[in-house]
Structure formats: C-alpha cells, structure tokens
A and B are shown apart, each in its own frame.
Chain A
C-alpha cells in the first residue's frame, strides 16, 4: 500500500523527468539554430566590432586601438552620402518595381491561366534564380554589350532603326542593376504569392462572382486582402537581402562606372578588400548590421509578422 508521501515522491519524480525532457527537447530542437546563429552571426559581429576599433589594414598588423574609423564615417568620407542615396534608390526601386509589384503580377496572372501554362511560366521565371550568378550576369553582359552584337542593340537597331549601338552599362547603370536584380528577385515574391493565392478557398471567388465582381474586383477584394501578410513578409525579407547582397552588381558593373552603382554593401567590400582598409570596412559593416537588426525588428512590429506564424484564418469554418 502506498502512502501519500510515496505518491508525492512519485509525482515529484515525474515532474523532474518531464522537466529534464523539456530541457532535452530544447537542446534538440533549438540547439542547431542557436549554434549556427552564434557561429555565423554573434561571433562575426563581435569580431567586426573589435576590428572596427583598430587600424587593421593590408599589412594585417594592428598597431593601435582607435576610434579613427568612426571619425572617418561621420566626418571625412564624402563619398558615403552618395552611396547611401544610391542604396535607397536601388533597394526601394527593386522592391517596388520588381520584388513586390512584378512578383504579384506574375503570381496573379500565372494562377489565372491554365494550370499547365501557369506552372510553365513560373518555371521560366525561376530559371535565373537556379542558374549560377556568374552565368546569369554573363548573359546580361552579352545582352547589354555596347556593340552591335548585343541583344538589346540588335533589337533596337533592327526593329526600331537605331543608328548607333547604345552603351547601357555607362548610360543607364542604375537601371541595369535594378532590372538584373529584379528579374531574379521577382521570382521569390511570385512563389510566395502563388502559394498564398492557391490557399484562398475557391468558393470565395465563386461567391464574389455571383455577388457581381468582375476580374479586377475579384483581385482587389479577394486576392489582395488575402496577400497582406505575404506582401509584408516579402517586403521585409527582400529589403534586408537587397541591403546586404551585392554579387550581381559586382559581377555586372564592378560598382562602376566610378562609384555610380556602388551600393552600401559593395562599398564596404570595396573599402575593405580593394583598398585594404579592413578597419574602416568593419566600421562601415557595423552600421549595416545595426540597420539590418532594426529593420527586422520594425518589420516584426509594424507588419505584425507574428501573424504569419499563426494558423491562417482565411478558412472560415
């Protein structure tokens, strides 16, 4: 026969066991993510902060600890304001024209046509994302080649009777980096919006049709409201990825002519690895990290991102 005390002991042991299991689960499920975050975010940030307070340069020797790099950022670097303006134009131009708007148009049109053709066109739009960036930019370089052999020039000269070939890399470099990034960036929005559109119950469209809505009214009153959260997500996510990535620009224009297409992230790269000013690069990079974290947090609050993590409420039970 067990006494009350015995039962209490058993119960306590049970609690202890479940607490231990909770700890184990925590380690199993969150462990890998925590390790990755520490290794590839926290540690590099600490190293970056440390380096930014040194005069580390091409010689890779630290002779003194100094705040000189930050003075440069705020006082002496005249180029910085131009770089920041360009970064704004680049990020918001690409986002507004391609990643969100064009992605949305692609998603809406490819879900409105027959399933087979829709999947085909989405597949086509995904191709550049799947091909290596070097290959993709190589095709762009050929397309905008300033000679008569370039694709754009061929079209313009043969079909529109242009006299001399255009040198777009010199005359419209900003437009080029926006378009080349946007063609790839749009496919991410396209996929996420397509999934969201597919998730809208079909009877809502039927109901709207019976209620008198035409094609555009259906998009406006049914599709777009259902895409509010995906649009927020794509906006935040792409803002951050556009802010920190520069590979296509580096490959296409090398940031030029001169500094005309050098966005902030590329400027950091050029300062650190082309000019060998590692300390200054680290100081510049720190601002990117701060901006990244702030944008992510603002996005989390402002767009109510938490709702994305909840069960969708679109299905009325």
Chain B
C-alpha cells in the first residue's frame, strides 16, 4: 500500500503543457477519482503514476520516495485500461500470470496466485479461453485479476466501466468498490462520468485543463462546489445557472428579482433541479416539457429567465404541459458564484421571490 504525492508536477508533450502544476496527496488505502472532461489531464496524471509517462518537472512520491525516474516495471502498480489491453494471443491464465513472470515467482506459487486472483473476480471458469472469446464484462474482470495478481501497492483504473453496458456497469461499480474494501489497496480511478466518481470514490479530484479545480468528498463537490465548472459537472440532471446583477440586496435577472445575502456585482445563481419545488410562491413559469424518469419527473419550465429544469418526485399526474406554475426553493440550497472568476461566494444565498 502506498501514499501518493504530487509536488508541483509538470507534464509537457513537446511544446504543449498538459499539466502545468499539480499538487495532490492521496492517502494510503484511499479510493480517489480523477474526474473531468476529456483532455483535462486526468489520464496523463494516471499514466504518470503508472510510469508510462515520466513527469517533465516537479516530484512524484510513493511513500515519501521520489519515483520520477522509476520505470513502470519497477513501480509495482496494477492498471486496468479502458480497452482492458489483454494480450490477445495468450489464454486468460497466461494473461493473469504475465506480471508474475517478471517477479521470478516459483511456478506453483504463481499458479496458486493466478487461481486466487481469478477466484476474486470470478473468472476461474474462463482460465483456458482466449480474450477474444470473452464478453466485455469478462475481459474487464480478467484485466482486474491481472492488475491485482502481483499485489500492487497502487491500483489504477482508466475509465474501466466506459465500455460496459449500463446494467453491467452498475454491478461492476459495486464489485470494484467491495474489492477495494476487501484489499485496502490505494486506488485511483479516472473517469469522465460523475456518477462513477461519486458512487465509488472516497474523494474526488475534479480537473479542468490540466489543473485541479476542487478536491473533496462527493458531498463536498455536490453541496459546496468551489466553482461554476464543478457545479455544472457534478449533478444529474445538471444544475440551473442563472446570470444576473446583485445590487442592494437583490439579484435581478430580466424581470425576476431574488433577495440575496452576502453578494454584489455580477453573479451567477446556481439552483439544482432537485432542490426546486412547485409551490404557491416563488418565480413564475409555464411547463414547456415533461420528461418522466421513473421515480422522478423532470419538468422544463419556461420562465422570465429562460428555461429552468425542475426535478419532482412522484407521478406526472399532477401537472401538464402548458400549465402556469410557481417555483420555490430553500435558500440554503442555493449557490451564488461571482460571474467574474466563476468562484463560489461562500455563505451567499438567494431566496425565492414571493
């Protein structure tokens, strides 16, 4: 197991600076997710941890030792690639055995460990097959077994679920999480899917354009997003962002006025769809569209500020398209960001207009 530290790590490809200055500590045994849109540097960071890319500057530490120049094969990390990267000409057994070849593990012990790893991810029936004869989910498990067989001190997962169908993704999510609980190995997950990150990781590192935007627990990122970027990235359906002017205790957006505490100037108000409620007070609008999502219903409401999404529990029976409604919310659920700089204004809230 290992504690990981990025100290002012820089990564350049030629003239392109992919990661300008990264600072991060991952505690021993933690499960963290690197979350961000494609091209944000999350996979580059992961490949630096694996030793596939070497940092261009700064220091990368495993348990307090600088590993900048340590080659991939000497780092003792396990990695699962997005495409699984199983060796196509080897049987499943040989695939899982492969990392042990280079550790001079005695044959009997190696085979026993392969068996144990295969049991762990439940692929013991498939040991004699070739990767091309496996389904996506089975390949995924084999890739996990190969990553785990050498008992790595760090497990890296690069978009491991993105090639699986929806139901399999759900069960693999649970399995990976319970594997982590069972083995306690420090795990870094790279994903662009916020649900994957929030459901699996203890902590989320939200990245944007090579920089860390916010580090925190799933709750931190959801309840107190430090910036507009994090607020819009976390949460499904996405947060409603409404730009307006705060002056003399009210935020004016077109003809709608929200009383506000603790903010002035150009602000962006963030209201999550699940925090909005149809009520007798609040701002007015007309239901433009109804999207039933099973347990919940998403309403798209045309208001004086543009379209606002409202997520309501229960059946669609109560409301219909074209209906005039009023929308309210609890002030403590509202988020206020400075439009300039796009940072959260801590402690600032708006109240629903009456």
Contact = CB atoms under 8 A, between A and B. Distances in A.
A316 B73 contact: no
A1 interface: no
Contact of A210 (B51, B82, B163): B51
B139 A207 contact: no
Contacts, number: 78
Interface in B52-99: 52, 71-73, 75, 77-79, 81-90, 98-99
Interface residues on chain B, size class: 20 to 34
Contact of B99 (A203, A212, A317): A212
B73 A209 contact: yes
Interface in B131-145: 131-132, 136, 139
Interface in A221-259: 221-222, 225-226, 228
A209 B98 CA distance: 11
A185 to B, nearest CB: 27
A212 B103 contact: yes
Nearest to A207: B85
Given A222-B87, A226-B89, A316-B88, A209 B102 contact: no
A137 to B, nearest CB: 41
B83 A316 contact: yes
Contacts of A226: 88-89
A213 B102 contact: yes
B101 A206 contact: no
B2 interface: no
Contact of A206 (B71, B78, B81, B102): B81
Given A207-B79, A209-B73, A212-B103, 9 more contacts: A203-B83, A207-B85, A207-B87, A210-B72, A212-B102, A213-B73, A314-B88, A316-B85, A316-B132
22 contacts: A201-B85, A204-B87, A206-B81, A207-B146, A209-B52, A209-B71, A210-B78, A211-B73, A211-B146, A212-B99, A212-B101, A222-B87, A225-B87, A226-B88, A226-B89, A314-B88, A316-B84, A316-B85, A316-B88, A316-B139, A317-B83, A317-B136
Interface of B: 47, 50-52, 71-73, 75, 77-79, 81-90, 98-99, 101-103, 131-132, 136, 139, 146, 150, 163
